[in-house]
Each structure stands twice: as C-alpha cells, then as structure tokens.
Amino acid sequence: MPRQQLRSPVSPIFFLLLAITLCGGALATGTSDLIVTIGVVLLVLGGWAVSLCLHEFGHAAVAYRGGDTSVANKGYLTLDIRRYLNPMLSFGLPLIFLIIGGIPLPGGAVWINNWALRSRLIRSMVSLAGPLINLVLGIILAVVTQIVSMPLGLLIGLSYLALVQVLAFLLNILPIPGLDGFGVLEPYLSKQTREMTDKIRPWAPLAFFVLLLGVPEVSSALFSAGSVLFTLVGGSTQAAFAGYSQFLFWRR
C-alpha cells in the first residue's frame, strides 16, 4: 500500500499563536513596567501554547514515519491546537496551571495506532519525540538569550520560557504511567506489567500533579532539578527567575 501523501497545511490557528508570542516579545521590549509585564505574560503563554503544538506534532511526525499514516487523516500534522484532544482540558488547564504556579503541566495528546508501528524502538521514539522537542526549544532559547543582545524585559521573558521548556521535558520524561517517560519504557515491559500499569494509568499522573501542586517540597525539587539542567544547557537562572517573577506579577 503506498504511503499516504501529506496534504494538510499548517493550521492558521498555529500562526495566530505564533503572532501572539511575537507580539508579547515586542511588548516585552518596552520601557513601562506594565507594558513589559503584559509582554512577558503574552510571550510565555503564547510560547507555551506553540510548544504544546510542537510537542504533539513531534509524537505524530515520528509515528507517521514509523508506519502510522492515520495521524495525517486525524490532522495531527497540521499543528492545529484543536486536533489534540479537548482544547480546554488538554491546553486550557495547562495554561491556567502555568499562570497559577508557573508549572508547565503536560497537555494535549495524540492517538497513535501502535499496531501500525514497525518496531518497539519506534514506539519508544514516538513517546520520546515530544519531550525532546521541549528540550531542544529550551536549549535554543537559552543559547539565544546568551549570545544576542536584547532589552531586559525580553531577556527575562525568553529566559523563563526556556526554563519552562526544560521543566516540561523533566516532567514528561518521568517514568510514570500516562506520561511520555513511561511510554518510552512500555514497549519493553512484560505483558503482565503493562496490564497492571493500565489500571493506574488514568490516575497516576493526576496523583503526581496533586503532589506537585500541593506539596511545596515536590515542586521545589522539580525547580531545583530544572535549574541545574537549565544551567547545563547554557541558561541564566537569574534571568529566568526574574522572568518567573514578572510572569507571576500578581504574586509580587
């Protein structure tokens, strides 16, 4: 059977999210604290929404190359935020939690036909692709903030957005059923183990997120690990946490 041709263009919704992000970046270069704050908020929220689309696109693109051509018919390759499950539950809530606590909860999802994938390695790579997108974005943004001269507001906004990507990578890569990190390992687990974890898959991420949001020590551990990795990839934690403070302006 011939490989299905990719005919779907990139969704205009994705370009709208990019425009919001760029608008936020432009406002972050302003001289008024109010304008800078609005810019940083738009930059981080828009950038996070863009990265969620790219994260899910990464899963779908690897699945398509690995044998599951149905992802094209489902619209997963259009970068359309509406295609990745429920827009409110999959994207709205992560954005809300980002605003409330600065923690980038995983959002969105794509339905992959694992039976169509050619090997266990491809199944693992499908799961790994999304978090790697976040890590690459974090590295790119961190490096840009270090080598490009820019106004302070834009610097701290991009630095925090870079840290958010690194934190998203760490969260997604945890080997918890229902998260991508477990998906990387799952193809190599025994049938009995997979059946057991299927029972807790809907609840394990929820329980972890409750701990993450409700127990300060858990979120502190996440930010500490994220800060270490962020520094290793070239980011400035000082600038990132200044952006964090600007983003969560209502806490000041």
> Which amino acids are annotated catalytic?
56
Contact status, residue 137 vs residue 165, Cβ threshold 8 Å: yes
Contact status, residue 41 vs residue 102, Cβ threshold 8 Å: no
Please state, in angstroms and rounded to a whole number, the distance separating the CA atoms of residues 55 and 164. Answer: 13
Q: How far is CA 129 from the centre of its chain?
A: 11
End-to-end CA distance of the chain: 60
Residue the block writes with tokens 């029972």: 199
Please state, in angstroms and rounded to a whole number, the distance separating the CA atoms of residues 171 and 131. Answer: 9
- C-alpha torsion 79→84→87→92, nearest 10: -80
